[in-house]
Amino acid sequence: MDRWVVISVLIAAYLGLTLWVGLRAGRGTSSTVDGFVAGDRNFGFLVMYFVTGATVFSAFAFLGGPGWAYSRGAAAFYILCYGTLGMLPWYIIGPKVARIGRQLGQVTQAQFLTGRFQSRGLSLVIALVSIVALIPYITLQMRGAGIVIEAVTDGWIPLWLGAAVAYGVVLTYVLVSGVSAVGWTNMLQGIFMIAIAWSLGLYLPHALYGGIGPMFEQILTQRPELLELPGLAADGERWTWAGYSSAILISVVGLTMWPHLFMKAFTARDERTIRRTVVWFPTFQLFLVPVFLIGFAGVLFVESLPQPDFILPYLILNVELPVIVVGLFCAGALSASMSTGDALMHATASVAVEDGVRPFADLDEAQQRLLIRILVVVAGLLAYFFAVSENISLVVLLLTSYGIIAQLAPPVVVALFWRRATTPGVIAGMLAGGATTLLFFFWPALKPFDLHEGLFGLIAHVPVLILVSLLTPAQDSARVEAYVNPPAV
């Protein structure tokens, strides 16, 4: 039997298992919007741990992480830094968000903010920002899945077909089981991709260099610049400490502001579950250690690649590995892609309906759930179109996403901790922060320092929010206290 056929059978078996888990996950969940979007607020610690970790680590981590280690060396460690530090604020904010959401029946980020700062316009702005940031993110996951399948089957299954099959499975279980499918499949996918990453991360340095220690000794001798912080920039020059540090800082601020992560606070069984997830989340970061080892393994083995993100598939196909190992690697890469893609598709549709449509239209439970399902399909088809259209570039949207998403952090913080914050202040701050971020992204020569443009956005955002809030009438005290000092459940 041809090698690509065996690999295809293994991929089909993995996709079949994932589909079975996703379809069974919805049994016992109520047929309400709360059940479809928030899983009846019944996720325990184990599911929350894996849904958080697997959602964070996407196809970009499985392909981009090794790519950064291979091409930029120590610069890749910024991913390890922000992933650990970015969850720390959630230890304080997350339980409070969950408590308020449970009391007020909220299931999305915009509902949380507009519950304090009542404005249909604010809800629509947050919905649009979220969708614009999420669609390119879904596209990356689809394209990553298609690239891996095409590579390991020697082109017999092209990118368009591989992406269509993998995300056809995702679409099916999300439509049937909603966020419950996301939670339980993420647990399966998280376990799978951790096992595959560690297996490859330990095996490849041993196969190519005789071990991890000898690998780094040879890199230190021949490419020492890759082992020195802050590493290399995209142009091959040294990344500045300002650029490295600000990339970590803006990512820390923005990590839990991503709608698909923020919304998971509303799925937790209780506040203790969220705190335990935050405490244990850094252990999921260990997934990055073997991922980086894979990238470093290619430094001296592969002289150059047109696209560094392809270093992992290249090593897999050019090192003598049993065909079953190649098939399992593909399943691990699909795990990374699908475990993020399903959460993104679910979140995009949920946000579009709950925050973009519902404030302007009176929909009952059945209509909301139906519309969310329809928009899951629409979001999937739109992302698939971009994924298979090589001439359409989403780089601009993708690179600026973190800077834009980070602008949601000040409104969340003041909603919970500052009584004097007002709706005009929040709207003015978001407009100022978003405009500043885009200004410095499209015209980087205007930046006085080599800092992430999103940081300049926050520097403009916070003073405007404070000043306009102080110049406008204070909010109703009862509404304010429901957020700043919510009653214990």
- pLDDT at residue number 394: 43
CA angle 89, 93, 94 (to 5 degrees): 105
Q: How far apart are CA 192 and CA 186, in angstroms?
A: 10
Q: How far apart are CA 376 and CA 342, in angstroms?
A: 10
Per-residue tens of pLDDT for the chain, all 489 residues:
677 888 888 888 888 888 888 888 777 677 677 777 766 677 787 778 877 777 777 666 777 788 889 988 998 888 888 888 888 889 999 999 999 998 888 888 999 999 999 999 899 988 888 888 888 888 888 888 888 888 888 788 888 888 898 888 888 888 888 878 777 787 887 888 888 888 888 989 998 999 999 999 999 999 999 999 898 887 778 888 988 898 889 888 988 898 888 888 888 888 889 999 989 888 888 888 998 999 999 999 888 787 787 788 888 878 877 788 788 778 777 877 787 788 888 888 888 898 888 888 888 888 888 898 898 899 889 888 888 876 544 444 555 677 888 999 999 999 999 999 999 999 999 999 989 988 988 888 888 888 888 899 999 999 999 999 999 999 988 889 999 988 876
Smallest CA-to-CA distance from 316 within 303, 298, 304 is with 298
- pLDDT at residue number 470: 96
Q: What is the CA radius of gyration of the chain?
A: 22
Choose the CATH number for 3-390 among 1.20.1730.10, 3.40.50.1980, 3.30.720.110, 1.20.1740.10. Answer: 1.20.1730.10
CATH 1.20.1730.10 residue window(s) in the chain: 3-390
pTM score, whole prediction: 0.82
- pLDDT at residue number 205: 93
Is residue 14 a contact partner of residue 331, using CB atoms and an 8 Å limit?
yes
- Bridge partner list, 238: 232
- pLDDT at residue number 183: 79
The two tokens of residue 161 are 């077909």
